[in-house]
Chains A and B, each alone.
Chain A
Amino acid sequence: MHCKRINLKRRSLLTGACFAAFVFAGAAGSACASDYTPVTDARLANPEPGNWLMTRGNYKGWSYSALDQINTGNVKNLVPVWSFSTGVDSGHESPPIVNNGVMFVTTPYTQVIALDAASGNLLWRYKRKLPEGFSALHNTNRGVALYDDKVYVAGLDAVLVALDAKTGKVVWETPVEDWKTGYYMTMAPLIVKGKVLIGVAGGEFGVRGFVEAFDAKTGKSAWKTYTIPAPGEPGSETWQKADTWKTGGGGTWMTGNYDPDTNTVFWGVGNASPWFGDQRPGDNLYTSSTLALDGDTGKIKGYFQYHQNESWDWDEMNAPMLVDFQDGGSATKGLFKPARNGYLYWLKRNPDGSISYLRSEGYVPQNVFKSIDKVTGRPEIDMAHKPATGKAAQFCPGLWGGKDWPYEAYNPKTGLVYIPSNENHCNTLEGKVEERVPGQWWTGVAIPDLHFSVDTKAAFYGELQAYDVNTGQRVWRDLYSGSMMWGSPLTTAGGLVFAGGTNDREFRAYDARTGEQLWQFKTNSGIIAPPSTFEVNGVQYVAVQSGYGVDAAFQEGLMSELVGWQKDVPQGGVVWVFAVSK
């Protein structure tokens, strides 16, 4: 593709008198797609601080940047440099991925937009044509994966697509599953040693989840590991009723993390289906678990199941972060996970790739676990708070959990983990036996009967919490009295935490050590996408998409009825890019 180099003078870049005072050293530099820098295994294993090559910034899942040009001292001078309207409504959940000056964002309905990261100029755009009659519960997309000279995106219609990073043209497409049966894809793929790993959604439709790897060059399937064992396979004994495994859920709808040292992929597994455990007796491995998979073969090396016989729609789809923390006075190669079930988990990465339980503690009030076994991590369930077929039960937190899909972040300089969480909400569910129609909602409970409730006198609902990863002590928290929290924080070596996630459309910067709010900016919509940060020509930028929708909007509608919150947070996606004014 012929690419015209863009070398705008500062005055033309900063259009409008109100921006005339802001001058960004080096902002005149620009990316040219024809100069595209291939992404290698080595770069993915050790990403340059100036780039943001994958969804959570590194294989460990930290959402951390070593950049510190923007810091606690100057963040108050952060101003927008450019913005870009995606022209798409609904929930934008993709971070800007940046490779040497080229930015890639995705939108709902599987669009990919490539932009000059410094100027905001459009390089190319890919719009997936979805099949006639297509539908999906969540139309969102959570970002691209980069490898070599290609960009990979998981099509909502369960087709994996490889695009030429320079042109946006399709290099190959591989159907992953039949969308008509309830499968769809929303996560960002994960690149592991020349393979593109994907997971699937559909746990509300009675699919059987899996993680599948495809050759990055050809799109040919390399391996496929189901999250629910077939009869005779290890773990199949935990599906005690015939055939329930075939429709048992176990979606894999969030991107995994990766340990190159042991070649182990950690991937989260969602809820079992239908939602009511008495319809599928047994522990139901590997639903609501973290799987440890061999990066070359997909073989299951180990697992940890957070709660058995899942009955609360508490997916544990987020992979834990790879963090080395202190346990019992010694440095431990660990996994750390704020689970949807409301507990923090400290787990151990064993040399053979398996997972051991270390300890756990609640980070939001929860009324389902009576206790957790100190050795195995298995919770004892209070059956009064476990819904079943024909038996209504209330449980707190509700089905959106202490934390839903938004990522936590870890800052190695502060030793703190930043957790977007929600409290003071519950659900009351009662199951029914329902006939499954492939492609249709099949949870055992209808949408009008979800019975979401909140403590209407609560002082807050959403919050951002900071925990010391070694001691488990909460160090600070910011409470949102009028909003839930649906934002993924980004933390930096500049001593900052950036986060949106609230219904007031704000994008905030906090002091990472103290939680003091240092800056805020009101965007076009609510931010439910993770921010990222990058550097071009010596200038550090912070970028985020603002575009409210999907579950955050649905929950907001319920909160408008329960406590009178604003019903309609404005929608429509915009990419915002900020830098410090001089």
Chain B
Amino acid sequence: MRRLDFPNGPLFGRRAVLGLTLTPLLFGAARADEEAAKMPPQPDDRFVFLTGPKKGQVTQIDDLPLGGPQVQAYPVSQDGTVRNETPLNLVILTRFDPAGLSEETRARSAAGVVAYSGVCTHQGCAVNMWSKDRDAFVCSCHGSVYDPRNGAEVLAGPAPRPLPSLALKPADGAVAVASAFSGRVGGTQK
């Protein structure tokens, strides 16, 4: 878990910012932070990059390459809590020409940006690969392929169902969560 105190700047842990003199308060604050960091994406959350040169910074629409590949990100609350205490909150963001999106997917997108759970519905691995041949997401463990332009429907592989999606809305050059995941996040396990 991390806190984001300056939306476009570096990240600071709350404890590091406040110092040790406020220790009694910090336990409560830390617990609240941890709870917030475990919560699934909430309306108005934005996203921070998980990897790359802008790791930890809020993802702007212009940061996303048009037509893919996806970027991995975690939701961040309005008060700067990065919700990365559970891998189930991993999100993949991709930007397309809205005209190329299915009607339902376009309705959930903002400025051509679509957001899905980054957790494969097969065994729970990260959907962090991109197939140039199929113009689609690929799961990094067992190769399930998902169609990003059409609700992340399964195109190939063992995944039993599409990736849950997040409806988005524009937010000052970035995108923000408009509503919760469309379905249960995570893999299938016995």
Please list the residues of chain A having a beta carbon within 8 angstroms of any beta carbon in chain B: 87-89, 107-109, 111, 130, 132-137, 139, 180, 435, 437, 439-441, 446-448, 553-554, 557
Contact = CB atoms under 8 A, between A and B. Distances in A.
Given A135-B123, A447-B143, A554-B143, A437 B50 contact: yes
B4 interface: no
Interface in B157-190: 157-158, 186-187, 189-190
Interface stretch (B6-14, B15-23, B102-110, B129-137): B129-137
Q: Is the contact region of chain B dominated by helix, strand, or loop, or is it mixed? A: loop
Interface in B109-150: 119-120, 123-126, 128-134, 138-143
Given A435-B51, A446-B129, A136 B138 contact: no
A495 B126 CA distance: 48
Interface centre among A88, A108, A180, A446, by most B CB within 10 Å?
Answer: A446
B180 to A, nearest CB: 17
Contact of B87 (A180, A441, A447): A180
A441 B138 contact: no
B88 to A, nearest CB: 4
A440 B128 CA distance: 9
Contacts of B186: 132-133
B81 interface: no
A441 B141 contact: yes
B88 A109 contact: no
Nearest to A551: B142
Nearest to B72: A437
Given A89-B190, A447-B129, A139 B123 contact: yes
Nearest to A443: B140
Nearest to A573: B190
Contacts of A111: 190
Interface of B: 50-52, 72, 86-88, 119-120, 123-126, 128-134, 138-143, 157-158, 186-187, 189-190
Contact of A134 (B124, B142, B158): B124
Contact of B139 (A107, A134, A447): A447
Given A133-B119, A446-B130, A441 B140 contact: yes
B20 to A, nearest CB: 27
Nearest to B120: A135
29 contacts: A88-B190, A109-B189, A109-B190, A111-B190, A130-B189, A132-B86, A132-B186, A133-B119, A134-B124, A135-B87, A135-B187, A139-B123, A180-B87, A435-B51, A437-B72, A439-B87, A439-B126, A441-B125, A441-B141, A446-B129, A446-B138, A447-B138, A448-B130, A448-B133, A448-B134, A448-B138, A553-B158, A554-B143, A557-B157
B123 A136 contact: yes
A108 B128 CA distance: 24
A36 B128 CA distance: 49
Given A108-B190, A448-B129, A448-B133, A133 B124 contact: yes
Contacts of A439: 87, 126
Nearest to B145: A448
A557 B52 CA distance: 33
A527 to B, nearest CB: 20
B21 to A, nearest CB: 32
Contacts of A447: 129, 138-143
A441 B124 contact: no
Contacts of A180: 87
